Chain A
């Protein structure tokens, strides 16, 4: 018994088991194993790196403070900023940038630029994103794609809310059609026009005392006004949707680079 037995709780076996748990996506179990290993072997860089990485791929955003403590105290043990990478990735996944800027200095200029840009994208800070200018020629492939996407994003021609309101003021529903909401636009046109015609014909036939004239005139005015607001809203939604589609592309580029 004594000679033939293997200690399952030794370093190698614990690490092997923690890796198995990670690959089978049982992150809570895996983190228990990695934390125990880290407690027993506090300077082991493989354990520290895999522990941090498991927090990240398990998306344990509630443990951001723990990651910060780990990276701050243990990053000196690493020759390259692999550990710092993990807190940067984690911040981008969790959209939690409390510790982000503090670690950017660990990277060379190209990566610093890439991570700054990534932060603006993920936090949807479009004003800063559009003001951001690039000072270096990108070599890193994801940086190139994000750079190109940002340039394209800067050149987006948004639909103008003022123009939509003006269009709908002249031809009811056309502002909505301008925002590519064709069905809604046609329906608005029919409603405003039919109620206006009804009101006009009623006034023409029975004069100013025509009940129908006032009723349908009232409807026509309220639909007309509502349509102006609707056109403004339609353009707003259209522009937001446009931003969102670029945001999704940027997010994919950033997350794929991890």
Chain B
């Protein structure tokens, strides 16, 4: 009997020299995570995740989520943030996980999704969480184009250094938006052809448009005087209409593109401010 037990123990020992159990894999993954070998760490953490039936390694969810987040795979990151959120009992850490999810949604430009996530933030008397919620809410509202509500949310962040930078970015964007309002730009080109294009920065095409319309108008008038009003009208009906309307439409398109480009630029600036956490650090000081 003694021999038999000894044999089984030795046999298992030999087998285990080559086998890799969940603890070894976890240790290996942790080491790769520490060394910043994120791809290898991600794969091995997922192996642990799949075989960890007893839920012994709950810390891996957050690590997997963080790696997916870094790899810009926001949907997968949110999936693992959700898992981490479910097993963590601490309300503060739960809230931080929600904010990470919100940030993923914002980076993924899913602003309504971000607003939806914010409802999950548990009631807390902490000023830090209140401010952070307001800040993220403001960014998401900015993303959906509700600038008024966005400004309202952001303006509640008072007495902070970072608030000023957000406010400046926000104000300049509103100003920019008003300045390059597509309706206004189109109207400009209707009042004086080419003006809308020149105003939005496309000087060459603006001057071209203006010169063309002036030449057509002049020629139409000349024809009306020298021939008849009907001939003048004929010139206007085809040439003038085409280039006049085309120019105004082009100016509108340019303004829309400019605003979209600026929105994306401003949005990146705001995200950077949040990621650097400067605002909230100042807020909690």
Residues of A participating in the B interface, judged by any CB pair closer than 8 Å: 2-3, 5-10, 13, 16-17, 20-21, 24, 26, 29, 32, 187, 190-191, 194-195, 197-198, 201-202, 205, 212
Once the chains bind, are B51 and A8 in contact (CB under 8 Å)? yes
Using CB atoms, name the residue of chain A closest to B20. Answer: A9
Query: Smallest CB-CB separation from B73: which chain A residue?
Result: A26
Give min CB distance, B281 to chain A, whole Å: 36
**Does B169 count as interface, using CB distance less than 8 angstroms?**
no
Looking at the assembled complex, report how far the CB atom of A72 sits from the nearest CB atom of chain B, in whole angstroms.
30
Q: Does B238 count as interface, using CB distance less than 8 angstroms? A: yes
Residues of chain A lying within 8 A (CB to CB) of residue B76: 24
Secondary structure at the B interface, as helix, strand, loop or mixed, is helix
Please report the C-alpha to C-alpha distance between residue A195 and residue B223 in the assembled complex, in whole angstroms.
13
**Closest-CB distance, A145 to chain B (whole angstroms):** 34
Contact B20–A8 (Cβ < 8 Å): yes
Say which residue of B12, B23, B25, B43 sits within 8 Å of A3 (CB atoms).
B12
Interchain CB contact under 8 A, B51 and A187: no
- Stretch from B115-123, B125-133, B191-199, B227-235 contacting the other chain: B227-235
Closest chain-A Cβ to B10's Cβ sits at a distance in Å of 10
In the A-B complex, the 5 residue pairs with the smallest Cβ-Cβ separation, listed nearest first, are A7-B19, A5-B21, A194-B238, A9-B20, A2-B12
A195–B173 CA distance with the chains assembled, in angstroms? 47
* Chain A: minimal CB distance from B64 (Å): 11
Q: Check A6–B22 contact: CB distance below 8 A.
A: yes
Can you name 20 extra interface pairs (CB under 8 A) apart from A2-B16, A5-B16, A194-B235?
Answer: A2-B9, A7-B15, A7-B20, A8-B47, A9-B20, A13-B51, A17-B50, A29-B42, A29-B46, A32-B43, A187-B242, A190-B238, A191-B238, A194-B238, A195-B238, A198-B223, A201-B228, A201-B231, A212-B226, A212-B231
B21 closest partner in A (C-beta): A5
Whole-angstrom distance from the CB of A9 to the nearest CB of chain B? 5
Residue from B20, B76, B228 with most neighbouring chain A CB atoms (10 Å) = B20
In the complex, what residue of chain A is closest to B26 when comparing beta carbons? A8
Contacts of A16 in B (CB 8 A): 50
- In contact, B13 and A2 (Cβ under 8 angstroms): yes
A46 to chain B, nearest CB (A): 18
What residues of B have a CB within 8 angstroms of the CB of A6 in the complex?
21-22, 51
Cβ of B258 to closest chain A Cβ, rounded Å = 28
Closest to A13 in B: B51
| Pick from A7, A29, A202: contact of B227, CB under 8 Å | A202
User: What's the Cα separation between A32 and B40 when bound, in Å?
Assistant: 11
Q: Measured between C-beta atoms, what is the minimum distance from A96 to chain B in Å? A: 28
Contact between B21 and A7 (Cβ–Cβ < 8 Å)?
yes
Please tell me if the beta carbons of A197 and B227 are within 8 angstroms of each other in the complex.
no
Instruction: Give the residues in chain A near B50, CB-CB below 8 Å.
Output: 16-17, 20
Q: Which residues of B contact A195 (CB under 8 A)?
A: 238
Closest to B13 in A: A2
Determine whether the beta carbon of B242 is less than 8 Å from that of A8.
no
B36 within 8 A of A: no
Q: List 9 A-B contacts (CB under 8 A).
A: A5-B19, A5-B23, A8-B51, A9-B19, A10-B19, A17-B46, A29-B42, A198-B231, A202-B227
* Distance between A211 CB and nearest chain B CB, rounded to angstroms: 9
Contact B51 A212 (CB under 8 A): no
Closest Cβ of chain A: how far from B204's Cβ, in Å?
Answer: 24
Q: Which of these, B13, B22, B46, B234, contacts A198 with CB under 8 Å?
A: B234
Q: Is B237 a contact of A198 with CB atoms below 8 Å?
A: no
- Among B12, B15, B50, the one with the most A-chain Cβ atoms within 10 Å of its Cβ is B50
Complex CA distance for A212 and B25, rounded to whole angstroms: 87
B5 shortest CB reach to chain A, Å: 11
Bound form: Cα–Cα A8–B15 in Å: 13
CB contacts (< 8 Å) of B235 on chain A: these are 194, 198
Contact of A190 with B231 at beta-carbon distance under 8 Å, contacts A2-B13, A212-B223 already known: no
Q: How far is the CA of A7 from the CA of B14 in the complex (A)?
A: 13
Q: What residues on B are CB-neighbors of A9 within 8 Å?
A: 19-20
Map CB proximity to A onto B227-259 as digits: 1 under 8 Å, 0 otherwise.
Answer: 110110011011000100000000000000000
* Nearest CB in chain A to that of B22: its residue: A8
In the complex, the chain B residue whose C-beta lies closest to that of A33 is B43
A181 to B8, CA, bound (A): 84
Q: For B228, what are the chain A residues with a Cβ–Cβ distance below 8 Å? A: 201
A197 x B19 contact (CB < 8 A)? no
Contact B43 A8 (CB under 8 A): no
What residue in chain B is nearest A7 (Cβ atoms)? B19
Query: Quick one: given A7-B20, A8-B21, A17-B50, are A197 and B13 in contact (CB under 8 Å)?
Result: no
